[in-house]
Amino acid sequence: MRILPALIGAAVLAACASAPTPETNVTAETKVQTAPFNAASHLWLEEVEGAEALAWVTAQNTRTLAELEADPRYAGYEAAALEVLNSSERIPYGTVRDGFVYNFWQDSVNVRGLWRRTPLASYANETPVWETIVDFDKLAADEGKNWVYKGADCFRPKAGGKYSCLVSLSDGGKDAVINREFDLEAKTFVDGGFVTPEAKQGLAWAGRDTLLVATNWGEGTLTESGYPFIVKRWGRGTALEAAPELIRGKETDVGVWPMTMELEDGRILEGAVQAETFFTSNYFWFPEGESAPVQWPIPPMVSINGVYKGQFLFSLQQDWAPEGQAAFKAGDLVAFELEQFLTTRKLPPVSLVFRPTETQAVDGVAVAKGAALLAISDNVIGKVLRLEPSAGGWTTTPVELPGTGQVGIAFSDDNETTVFLSYQDFLTPDSLLNYDIATGAVTTLKSLPAKFDTAGLKVEQFFATSKDGTKVPYFIVHREDIKLDGKTPTLLYGYGGFQVSMTPGYSPVMGRNWLEQGGAYVLANIRGGGEFGPNWHQAGLKLNRQRIYDDFIAVGEDLIAKKITSPEHLGIQGGSNGGLLMGVMLNQRPDLWNAVVVQVPLLDMIRYHLLLAGASWVGEYGSPDVPEERAFLETISPYQNFDASKPYPVPFFVTSTKDDRVHPGHARKMAKRFEEAGLPFYYFENMDGGHAAAADQTARAKRSALEFTYLARQLFPEAKQD
């Protein structure tokens, strides 16, 4: 089954004075007194590639790079990050197609990357023999383009034959892409094949010669969020503009996307998903030969997981009481007989597949040829269960794993019997595991050597008490012999939104550039995330969002109360929605931290819905056009609540010119407020990279080195600068 919502939910002047050199301590007496704030005065910074805006960005980049790159620690941080990111000792995760493993690979030589493949037997070896499919450095050079590979969608009918593929290419890492048909056997783009113009788009194969397409069809065909709301059926050999329309949503939708399901007997169900908000959707099926779509009889807040042994699986993000049937709870995984629905067009009896406990959450379901697997989080520890329907209901069988860390289903496909799992934790490098469908056995296919020194390190889980009494878990990685004297440099990371879970993961860059230097790392599992299911997320929506910020503050205060660290040595970091979290923390508790890394952030919450994809997130944050919700947003919006009289720590803003999801204007305008107030700050805007703020390993290493240099200067006692 293919569902293609291009959503995340889900993250930089001539004749103008630059900010003063960042300092560690700035008193209120040194701050510039400014006139009453006029937000309209900064709108020029929203012109992404405006000459004046880019001149200001260049000046800030130049100033920040000059200072941080001159720090004696910078070169070592960058070298360590490059060594890790470009190392050949990385697991080449991939997709299995017809006996081959396909993988995308970047290193110091292949900066833009290779799309390559190797036979399954070779893949199992320590040094597989790879065959290059596309060299993206060469492709970009030959075509004079700034191509960034964004993935491939391949289709082959269950009856057999060769694969048909679409390769997605982005200009500089943007979400907007073009799609070009590719021949895997000939290893070339198909002459006269399917090609789409650049847009934020969704496509789904409905057969070898048919695509369902949602794209920018011209003026008036995009939602307020900048996504398409019209789906058409495009046949091979016909003009895209002439494709017949299948369904049309509304401009106020987040977007409408194509969806296809290939059933076990080879039939392909064509359909679409109309995302009315980021979290609510209507699902439609287009019966062959009929003009009107049929809506699926499921609630609006669900995640569709696939079809296994004729059972249509979906997980609930809301409580649901189907008429005449048992009631289900948010977080439940449920199913019904698909063929019965296709025949009657009515909801069949719904069965409960799995109900998580209060400390569990459904992370995902994967269907392979002959097995269905369920990944869950249990008190933020990953587990995998095998699912089977029976006359007495569904059964679950635990899959044996090597430890208690983060587990994911790295690959499964209903056309393939191969299943790959991934495992890691804070101190254990990635392992790629093979799950044998026939026996249920798990074997290690590949594992990485240690990339940083873990001797003397330990991981603990604690619970902080939030303002309303809620227990908020967090992990901390630190030295076993840590002195509880409040002097340990500590980096606290948080996100808190869109039901995205923060789970234990192995980070060699963090290990080398922070943990080996004596720092502690903390991962907060605050509300807004998905660690404990839909209710944990929904507890922090819209007018309740302050709970998320109270949770994060509680974790920071708990670290200080335990004397692990102190405000002088405590830094925080977050990106995208986590960048908003960082901005709020700057305003609400500037006294609690001495370093704040604000990555690809949302910061102007009064205009966010007018910038790029912002309108798609009103279901998370609330709408500035709704008086009650605007009134709340005005109390938390970092940009509007900036106050030059506050004892701000020196922040570091990181964004990307090519980010067409979260507008770089957010970071630009907030930094401008610091500049106008005469307050120190760092600012770096990568001219490429999209929402990741980096499109290749070299750029990722540079950004990381800048951030760790900044953190060291702010948090390590010996790092104070004269």
The residues annotated as belonging to the active site are 576, 691
Instruction: Count CB neighbours of 572 within 10 A.
Output: 30
Query: Which pair of tokens denotes residue 430?
Result: 């990635």
Report helix angle 577-588 to 546-561, nearest 10.
70
H/E element, 708: helix 697-715
8 Å CB contact between 202 and 214? yes
Q: What are the tokens at 519?
A: 């720092």
Return the CA Rg of the chain: 25
Alpha helix positions (H), 46-119: 51-70, 74-85
Q: Determine the residue type at 506.
A: Y
Do 108 and 122 touch, CB atoms closer than 8 A? no
Question: What is each CA distance from 652 to 63, 64, 441, in whole angstroms?
Answer: 12, 9, 47
CA distance 560 to 567: 7
**By the 8 A CB rule, do 217 and 191 touch?**
no
How far is residue 332's CA from residue 314's CA, in Å, rounded to a whole number?
9
For 190, counting Cβ atoms within 10 Å of its Cβ (0-12 exposed, 13-18 middle, 19+ buried), the class is middle
CB under 8 Å to 499, separation ≥6 — which residues? 9, 317, 528, 529, 530, 534, 536, 537
Dihedral sign from CA coordinates of 449, 453, 456, 457: negative
Three-class SS of 299-361: CCCEEEEEEECCEEEEEECCCECCCCCCCECCCCEEEEEHHHHHHHCCCCCCEEEECCCCCEE
- Tokens 């995308």 map to which residue? 104
28: DSSP letter: G
222 touches 228 (CB < 8 A): yes
Using an 8 Å Cβ cutoff, are 425 and 440 in contact? no
What residue has token string 């990279």? 689
In angstroms, rounded to a whole number, what is the distance separating the alpha carbons of residues 632 and 647? 24
Question: Do the Cβ atoms of 278 and 498 come closer than 8 Å?
Answer: yes
Residue type, 367: V
Please compute, for residue 671, the number of CA atoms within 13 A of its CA located in the half-sphere on the CB side. Answer: 35
Q: Which residues of 504-513 are buried (b: 16+ CB within 10 A; e: fewer)?
A: bebbbbbbbb
Record the tokens describing residue 433, joined without a space. Answer: 């595991």
Q: What is the DSSP string of 203-229?
A: EEEEETTEEEEE---STT-B-TTS-B-
